[in-house]
Chain A
Amino acid sequence: MNKSKFLMVPVLLWAALFLLVPMLIVVVVSFLSRDTLGNVVFPFSLTGYKTFFDSLYLGIYWDTLVLSVATTVICLLVSYPLAYYIANATPRIQTWGLILITIPFWINFLIRTYAWVLLLRTQGIVNSLLLHFGWIHEPMQMLYTKGAVLLGMVYNFIPFMVLPIYVALEQMDKRLLDAASDLGATRWKAFRHITLPQSKSGIMTGCVLVFVSTSGMFVVTDILGGAKSMMISNIIQSQYLGARNWPFGSALSIIFVITSLILILLFNRAMQSRADRAKEGTT
């Protein structure tokens, strides 16, 4: 009765060929060199990795990390209250809130980013409104700034933060709150010692999702940041499709993936030990 095992053969073959092998090739390419035509050639070399330690690229990488962290923190701060509100609302509002927060997932992020061009450009809607009400006297430069990129990122990723936190809050045992209030805890105390720790898994998932997605999103910097702002993903993209320096592009990709993983692990560890300490404190 173990015939069904053979059904997985096509999927395994497909995943091996188009998922695992490509990533292995990227690892190999990152250790190779390129000829003058941009072809990937032997011998092995560490040039790709060495180039990364050029101050130019290190600076861009630092900027990328700062932008990703800022996006994650802002998303968390604005999304948590919304997730909390939906999780504690009446069933009707819960259903509608969930539908409304899920729909943006399915609207192309390219389109969601483009919407901000309509709003932020010099003759755009925000400037027109500000001029109309006499709050400014000449149009402000809002598009092609770092602020616009941050705004676009936050805008795109709020739903990624709301949903996991909502799921955690929804699954939480609400009787704990009743118990806390019976024992005389204030609402803030109950939130601080029960709700917040219980929603930790959601916060973690949300933060990781937003952080990883932000750093890979070269389109937002491309459209809202203009030529001045760059992220590591813009460099990777241009090494692949423009400059044709694949060993360098691959090395950057690997550095990008590995540092993201390390940061996520550190973040998980930090959250974990905080939770442990909190537990010790209460018992």
Chain B
Amino acid sequence: MKKKSHPLLGLHSLLLMVFIYVPILLIIVYSFNNTRLSGDWKGFTFEWYAALLDNRHVMEALTNSLTVAVISTIVATLLGTLAALSLRNVGKRWKGGMNSLMYLPVVIPDIIMGLSLLVLFSQMHIPLGKATVIIAHITFSMSYVYVVVTARLAGMGRQLEEAATDLGATGWQTFRYVTLPQIMPGIVSGALIAFTMSLDDFMVSFFVAGPSSTTLPIYIYGQVKRGISPEINALCTLLILVSVVLILLAQFILNRGKGQKKHKMLPI
């Protein structure tokens, strides 16, 4: 027996959603506006998107971002999945310890993570570049893979694995043909999240990127500080689109693999 909410509550919620989405939608609308002095609507154009393709800096930043995202995703997915698997047969103490360690990158402010890595790299005399950005991204994104895969492992029973062992499968065979297929949706969606985190990260990259390893968010930051431009609107629109599509995809894969039990949207 559910009581109807107060109409003012509905109105408030609607207005808040409008408040959240109007600014984002404005960027998207203005990225198609046929004027450089973006005030009024002057007709539809793809000019700013075409201009991005001709912009050497944008293309370079895009290449850097993709390189970093692909490599860091692969390593972070491996590390995060291993961490999740390693905890299956160990006691509570180990689990608690690993959980705290893996939640650390999620809870410490990005700025602290960025500057502490900067100090480390400089003390170890590692020059800042793509490698340092990749290392930093692996460090924060492995946590997200770990969280997703752990949840997936927790949701699956041991019966199938036990059955496989009883039928004479070796440890590796059981893992390869029974465990892995079951946790695959978790691994894939963890990887997609890691990829998005990497593509989107500004704070940490800002500290550990060198002049030759500008990523897209760092490039955007530099441009935004100089004022607005239609090309930046176009670039932001593309980045919004990519992030949202990737995350919805991750969510979809997780839900589909989950069967009847509904999985909550990942909040972080």
Contacts and interface: CB of A to CB of B under 8 A. Distances in A.
A complexed with B = yes
A89 B7 CA distance: 12
Nearest to B76: A14
Q: Is the interface of A mostly helix, strand, loop or mixed?
A: helix
B45 to A, nearest CB: 17
A111 B240 contact: yes
A14 B20 contact: no
7 contacts: A8-B98, A18-B139, A85-B12, A107-B240, A117-B228, A223-B225, A240-B207
A111 B27 contact: yes
- 8 closest cross-chain pairs (CB), A and B: A115-B23, A216-B109, A7-B86, A22-B116, A8-B86, A22-B120, A11-B83, A85-B13
B247 interface: yes
Contacts of A187: 3
B195 to A, nearest CB: 12
Contact of A112 (B3, B23, B120, B207): B23
A56 to B, nearest CB: 20
A10 B81 CA distance: 11
Interface stretch (A43-51, A58-66, A96-104, A268-276): A96-104
B9 A22 contact: no
Interface of B: 1-3, 5, 9-10, 12-13, 16-17, 19-21, 23-24, 26-27, 30, 37-40, 79-80, 82-83, 85-90, 94, 98, 101-102, 104-105, 107-112, 115-120, 123, 135-136, 138-139, 142, 146, 171, 196, 200, 202-203, 206-207, 217, 220-221, 224-225, 227-228, 232-233, 236, 239-240, 243-244, 246-247, 264-268
B232 A103 contact: no
Interface of A: 1-8, 10-12, 14-15, 18-19, 21-23, 25-26, 29, 78-79, 81-82, 84-86, 88-89, 97-119, 121, 123, 125, 128, 155, 158-159, 163-164, 167, 174, 178, 187, 212-213, 215-216, 218-219, 222-223, 233, 236-237, 240-241, 246, 249-250, 253, 256-257
Contacts of A178: 1
User: Which of A22, A113, A212 lies at the interface centre, i.e. has the most chain B CB atoms within 10 A of its CB?
Assistant: A22
